[in-house]
Amino acid sequence: MSGVVRILLRALAAFVLLGEIAFAATPPAPAYEGADYRLGTSDKIRVIVYGETDLGGEFQVDATGNVRLPLVGEVKAGGLTSHQLEQNIAAALAAGYLNDPRVAVEVMTYRPFYIVGQVLKPGEYPYAVGLTATSAVALAGGFTPKAVESTIYIRHQGETREHQVAVNEGVTIQPGDVVRVDSTAFWDVLDVLSPLTGISSLRYVVP
């Protein structure tokens, strides 16, 4: 490796460190909590119709955001809270089927979240209530040596914009989130320089 390239790489490393020190992350989005949770595709729910066991059961929200129930057929669930869905099912049953139906809905299994980028095992993972960013990265095998470990990017289901947040125990993941772990600017530039400078064999240590 030439002296010029060596100097460039070391200068870039110093620049990246300064940038990380100066970085101020945006505040994390609030976590889903209890009755405020909005149902979405792949959530599994239990529906109880009191006094009518044949009309209840466990159902999954499909790709269109609906659940298909006995007797009443498809009912919209996506984007609704459990309480709102209870009201919609009760209204559907009351429209010519039951007198004063009482319905309860509870979430059995939340839709998964996804983690991509600079983690050892990117992919889809089951969601658990209270899941933190730190735990999400741990589930994916931890950071790669190229990762930015201080911040991550989160895109909530149904959104097109990512939110940059600091990695700490206060950041929680929501069902359906896509979590992206970025690589450092140092490695981004190095990956561009490698084919141009003949240092493609350089991996994680710069002497």
* Domain of residue 87, CATH code: 3.30.1950.10
* Residue 84 in domain: yes
Quickly count: other Cβ atoms within 10 Å of residue 194's Cβ.
Answer: 13
Q: What is the predicted pLDDT for the residue at 184?
A: 86
Which of 77, 109, 141 is a domain's end point? 109
What confidence score (pLDDT) does residue 167 get? 86
Give the per-residue pLDDT at 185.
73
Closest CA to 70 of 58, 83, 84: 58
Closest CA to 156 of 125, 117, 188, 113: 113
Q: Which of 60, 75, 109 is the last residue of a domain?
A: 109
Do 102 and 137 have their domain in common?
A: no
pLDDT band at 23 (very low <50, low <70, confident <90, very high): very low
Over residues 39-73, the pLDDT tens digits come to: 999 999 999 999 999 999 999 999 999 999 999 99
> Model confidence over 174-207: pLDDT tens digits?
999 999 999 887 766 666 666 555 554 444 444 4
Backbone angles phi, psi at 108, to 5 degrees: -90, -50
pTM of the model as a whole:
0.70
Q: Residue 141: which domain range?
A: 3-31+111-197
Is 204 among the domain residues? no
72 within some domain: yes
pLDDT, one tens digit per residue, over 84-128 is 999 999 999 999 899 999 999 999 999 999 999 999 999 999 999
CATH code of residue 20: 3.10.560.10
